[in-house]
Structure 1
């Protein structure tokens, strides 16, 4: 028979996990005009500008028009940036205001802490990504050749950026440092990952460099789900993203377990 104290402890931990997850989802949803609607509008503006200017000048994947090619890239770019923003902004705000201590005092393991934040980041990323897809698919014909690949890469990529946001939020001690992490790492890696172009249009040296960018595999694999065509094998992209998720996940868990920059 399981002792009553053990049951109570497990029940409290489970309740704590869902409470933290709910808090993080509600935090971004309460300002959804800023956290959801604004990124969707930004993506539409990107599509209108780049699609109009480059439609007749850029050829990708044979018969696929450029606007159709651009939409999955914009969906994934929005998903990545917002998944990162959710965890990173929450952690840094809690550290600066001093209320992070109340979360740390809760009966939660570092894994439950990690899971609650990352899952909430995934929810925001996927909501924004879906919003961008629904808002942009009216501009041109869009195909869904392999929906399972779309869902798989969407889930994995949002988890990776949620974990990266956790790392960035824990590491940063002020908003300037977090902005530097985002502006000098997340933003360049996203913009140079093939959102607006196929890497086969690049010179050989830049194609080689692109293969060292894990964000490239996220977008390329995601785009494969729409068109059944990609710059590299989707299985290779899946393996690389999976390995990257394990690496950043272990780093984030280690930082949480050690209390790095969380306990003063």
Structure 2
């Protein structure tokens, strides 16, 4: 039974990775292009007018934020779109029939989603290199926040995919929750440029800690302590993972 479940986990993981990789022009290349357009537009407008942390050029500051934003959004999109499509087309039954535990089900979707996020993030980083000279101060911090952030958004994507009954509901989840939290997380600015009240509001946005901690890995500077960011992101990931596993264990909106 253990080997059968392990085989089922590997098969589901392979299916989810293959699902986005077979259409990588849409799932990987298109998000990379979107991020580069952000970079070109914002750098052209603000490069000569804004410096961050005293000496870092705005374009250089912007790149890690765009990398992490793309990673997070695509981690969410992968798990959420896969589940909602399976539910609407009815083929979710073929995922639920094998002897998979809810933990293996969760792990397969999250790992595949993090993989897509990392592919997109690396693509954005590589395409950005001709435009900036980007230092890398602490690769460990970069990897830690990339994996934890991707896992957190992948978990949120599983929750959204389970909860939503149609694409409109999933689009609302993304447009009214994921997008605002991402855009207001400090991707395009340092929160120290904001009025004090908005700085305080930013500190209740977990996306801010993901972006800020990830950026610390490049510059060795951040708006808050990277240890605080790591704590907030880790706790948020654990809480979401527990919630997602509880929903899967109950078969919420998946099993009749």
Query: Considering the TM-score relative to the shorter chain, is it more than 0.5?
Result: yes
Alpha-carbon distance between aligned partners in 2 of 1:35 and 1:21, rounded to the nearest angstrom:
17
CA deviation after TM superposition for structure 1 residue 59, in Å: 2.0
1:162-173 matches, within 5 Å, as 162-173=154-165
**Structure 1 counterpart of 2:127:** 135
Could you tell me which residue of structure 1 aligns to residue 81 of structure 2?
A: 89
Q: Distance in 1 between matches of 2:236 and 2:95?
A: 27
Structure 1's consecutive aligned runs of 4 or more residues displaced over 4 angstroms after TM superposition are: none
In terms of Rg, which structure is larger? 1
Give the Cα–Cα distance (whole angstroms) in 1 for the partners of residues 173 and 155 of structure 2: 14
1:183 and 2:175 are equivalent in the alignment: yes
Residue 119 of structure 1: aligned partner: 111
Residue 44 (structure 1) aligned with residue 36 (structure 2): yes
SS of equivalent residue, structure 2 residue 135: coil
CA offset at residue 62 of structure 1?
Answer: 1.2
Q: Distance in 1 between matches of 2:208 and 2:242?
A: 22
Give the structure 2 partner of residue 206 of structure 1.
198
User: TM (normalized to structure 1)?
Assistant: 0.96
Distance 2:154 2:77 in 1: 8
Can you give the 5+ residue segments of structure 2 that lack an aligned partner in the other structure?
Answer: none
Q: TM-score, normalised by structure 2?
A: 0.99
Residue 239 of structure 2 is matched in structure 1 by 247
1:147 is aligned to 2:146:
no
Aligned counterparts of 2:38 and 2:155: Cα–Cα separation in 1: 27
Q: Following the alignment from structure 2 to structure 1, what is the Cα–Cα distance between the partners of residues 120 and 251? A: 31
- Residues 28-69 of structure 1: CA distance to partner in whole angstroms, max 9, x if unpaired? 001000000000001110000001101112221111100000
Q: 1:23 pairs with 10, 15, 21, which one?
A: 15
Which residue does 2:189 correspond to in 1? 197
Report the counterpart of residue 6 of structure 1 in structure 2. none
Structure 2 residue 61 is matched with structure 1 residue 64: no
Answering whether residue 145 of structure 2 is matched by residue 161 of structure 1, we say no
Write the deviation string for residues 84-119 of structure 1: whole angstroms up to 9, x where unpaired: 000000000000000001111111000000000000
Deviations 1:210-252 (A, max 9, x none): 0000000000000000000000000000000000001110111
Aligned-residue CA RMSD (Å): 0.5
